[in-house]
Amino acid sequence: MSLRPPPPVLPGFEHVKRAWNNSLESYAARILPGEYYVTRNDEGISTTLGSCISACIRDRNLGIGGMNHFMLPAILSAEPDEWKATGLSSATRYGNYAMEHLINGIMRNGGRRENLEVKIFGGGRIMEKMTDIGLRNISFVRSYLKDEGLQVTSEDVGDVFPRMIVYFPLSGRVKVKRLRSLHNNTIADQEKRYLDSVGEKPVSGEVELF
Amino acid sequence: MKLSASDLAKDIGGLITLPDVYLRINRLIDDPNSSASDIAEAVSRDPSFTIRLLRVANSALYRFPSSVDTVARAVSIIGTSQIRNLALSMSVASSFSGLPNNLVSMANFWRHSLFCALIARSLARQAGRCDRDALFTAGLLHDIGELVIFNRLPKQAQESLMLVLDSQDDLPIYEAERQIIGFDHSTVGGELARQWNLPPLLEECIAHHHDIGNATRHPREVAVVHLGNILALMAEIDTLELDDVAPIDPLAWELTGLSKDCIEPTVREAQAEIIEVERLFATAS
């Protein structure tokens, strides 16, 4: 057990659960689907991903950065590019919100846009019988980053495994671990609960989703 | 009142039963007056089992030089005690289909079990002085306690899985189960094996694959299943890095005389065989 207290938390992230991790020898904040977390300190941010995406973004000079966790809601077709046809409709707003909140959170805390370094993870196909919603999420985040002029420096996306990731914004280091299929349903349930909860919110206006 | 692992195993006794063909073969093998032809006859009484047995006998698992086309020939070349192991291996998936759950798909559960079976069998051959077919069965059955827990205690099972994820996959699942339920799937599986009067080797492999130091009668076989379980995880998530999976108890290398050099070829071999073996064993027919 660590004797030192966790590093200070930035305003707005007090609700995120943080715990000491022995093998990482660090505190890690664990975010759930729909959440994001930004830090200026030496700590990890972790999450588990099924078909969801996490973007890990930081100011590479200042070490201020964070991670989000999101997915696009289910729509009729499973075509990876279908979300484009629906434009800026309800299909993409969760993704746009998640990306904007993370980037704004980093800039609000001193990060500079021209220094941003981006890594993306997730989008696995963990439920064999379902359409490949992971692929659609990957396609969305790539396109979003391209439109914003942000380059992806590292990624581990797609395939059939759930992933556990831990990101250290101070150094930019990411630990990615594939998880055994024993965890598939637990992770898929968590993602489904997130989609159900955002699906209940009204579609228009300046709604705070996360 | 707190539930014990043995209560839990007793509780499901009426829901799943070992198939008649296994019980018949079992009785005959324990009967000194029975012959190989009695066993062949017992097998023949179950036509669906007969067809599947011949399919297994002719599969890459055995690589017999000529085709095995009668039950009598299958019994004579595979051997009567191995037929008993096979009867158990071939029926366990359908027996446990009576214990459904929402936490893991049966396909994923049996894929891990079959990986462990194939790898334990291969490691038994490499280590020598081990019954390969018994270790195949032990590998296939090693996690059956998990299906009992998932079916009978779904809420606590889910909490245990969440605890593992909350720990960044640092806490092993059996440790999470001990914290939340008070015992883990290996103890439940061991209790079930005892109630079913399975051979002591199987019982001990199931009960101690996470704590091999506590195996007393068959430590070498238990160590093979311990290694089989971890190499099966590597085969499943397609990695050759030991850091990506649960740690191997160093005692396992000592007990088996095997070394880390065996990991890569054994994992690769199992990955090449899994699809055929899934067709032979994991069907709930």
Q: Return all residues near B21 (Cβ < 8 A) that are at least 6 apart.
A: B42, B43, B45, B46, B49, B87, B91
B5 backbone dihedrals φ, ψ, rounded to 5°: -60, -35
**Chain A, 95-114: which have a CB under 8 Å from a chain B CB?**
none
Nearest CA in chain B to A17: B166
What gap in Å lies between CA B266 and CA B256, rounded to an integer? 15
Instruction: Grade residue A210 by pLDDT with cuts at 50, 70 and 90.
Output: very low
pLDDT for res A107:
97
Residues contacting residue B249 through CB under 8 Å, at least 6 positions apart: B212, B213, B223, B226
In one-letter notation, the amino acid at residue B209 is H
Arithmetic mean of pLDDT, A166-173: 97
Place A149 in a pLDDT band, splitting at 50, 70 and 90: very high
Q: Is A2 on the interface with B (CB under 8 A)?
A: no
CA distances from B184 to B16, B104, B175, B176 (A): 20, 17, 7, 8
Host H or E run for residue B58: none
Q: Mean pLDDT over residues A10-24, rounded?
A: 92
B277: tokens are 């073996």
Select the residue of B162, B168, B236 nearest A181 (Cβ to Cβ): B236
User: How far out from the chain centre does Cα B165 lie?
Assistant: 25
Q: What's the alpha-carbon Rg for chain B, to the nearest Å?
A: 18
| Continuous segment of H or E residues that includes residue A26 | strand A26-30
- Distance from B252 to chain A by nearest Cα, in Å? 22
Report, as an integer, the average pLDDT of A172-201: 89
Q: What is the mean pLDDT of residues A143-152?
A: 96
Q: What is the pLDDT along chain B (285 residues), one digit of tens a residue?
A: 578 999 999 988 778 888 888 999 999 999 999 999 999 999 999 998 999 999 999 998 888 888 999 999 999 889 888 899 999 999 888 889 889 999 999 999 999 999 999 999 999 999 999 999 999 999 999 999 999 999 999 999 999 999 999 998 889 999 999 999 999 999 999 999 999 999 999 999 999 999 999 999 999 999 999 999 999 999 999 999 999 999 999 999 999 999 999 999 999 999 999 999 999 987 644
Residue A166 at interface with chain B, using a CB cutoff of 8 Å: yes
What is the bridge-based pairing of β-strands A26-30 and A44-49? parallel
Select from A189, A130, A20, A156 the least CA-distant residue to B237. Answer: A156
The pLDDT score that the predictor gives to residue A203 is 46
> What does the pLDDT look like over A79-99, one tens digit per residue?
667 666 655 456 678 899 999
Q: What is the pLDDT, as a whole number, of residue B20? A: 87
**To the nearest whole number, what is the mean pLDDT of chain A?**
88
Q: Is the pLDDT of residue A113 over 50?
A: yes
Amino acid sitting at position B60: A
Please give, rounded to a whole number of angstroms, the shortest distance from the CA of A92 to a CA of chain B.
Answer: 28
* pLDDT of A209: 46
Section A7-29 average pLDDT: 93
Report the relative pairing of strands A163-168 and A173-178 from DSSP bridges: antiparallel
Question: What pLDDT sits at residue B16?
Answer: 86
Q: Rounded to the nearest 10 degrees, how much is the dihedral formed by the CA atoms of A2, B158, B88, B263? A: -30
Mean pLDDT of A128-152: 90
Q: How high is the pLDDT of residue A205?
A: 44
Give the pLDDT score at B63. 84
Choose among A21, A128, A180: nearest Cβ to B170. Answer: A21
Nearest in space to A49 (alpha carbons), one of A119, A106, A107? A119
Is residue B188 within 8 Å of B205, Cβ to Cβ?
no
> How does residue A196 score in pLDDT terms, banded at 50, 70 and 90?
confident
Q: Which of A17, A30, A180 sits opposite B237 (nearest CB)?
A: A180
What pLDDT is recorded for position B163? 95
Nearest by CB: A184 against B108, B233, B238: B108
pLDDT for residue A175 is more than 70: yes
Taking each continuous run of H as one helix and of E as one strand, the counts in chain A are 4, 10
Residues in chain B with CB shorter than 8 Å from the CB of A48 are 165
pLDDT at A206: 47
Q: How many CB contacts within 8 angstroms connect chain A with chain B?
A: 61
> For position A177, what pLDDT does the model report?
95
Round to the nearest angstrom and report the end-to-end CA distance of chain B.
39
Encode B21-57: b = buried (16+ Cβ within 10 Å), e = exposed.
bbebbbebbeeeebeeebbbbbbbebeebbebbbebb
Of the spans A194-198, A199-203, B224-228, which averages the highest pLDDT? B224-228
Tell me the C-alpha distance between A57 and A103, whole Å. 7
Burial class from Cβ neighbours inside 10 Å (0-12, 13-18, 19+) for residue B239 reads middle
Amino acid symbol at B163: L
Give the span between the Cα atoms of A197 and B208, in whole angstroms: 42
Residue A181: closest CA among chain B residues belongs to which residue? B108
- Write the residue in B170, B173, B239 that is nearest to A23 by C-beta: B170
Pick the closest to residue B109 from B285, B284, B227 (CA basis).
Answer: B284
Structure tokens at B178: 């001990």
Distance CA B5, CA B186 (A): 9
What does each C-alpha distance from B49 to A198, B27, B43, B83, B140 come to in angstroms?
A: 50, 17, 7, 11, 18
pLDDT given at position A167: 98
Q: How many helices and strands (H and E) does chain B possess? A: 16, 0
The model's confidence at residue A200, banded by pLDDT at 50, 70 and 90, is: low
Mean pLDDT computed over A15-26: 91
User: Is A160 in the B-facing interface, judged by CB distances under 8 Å?
Assistant: no
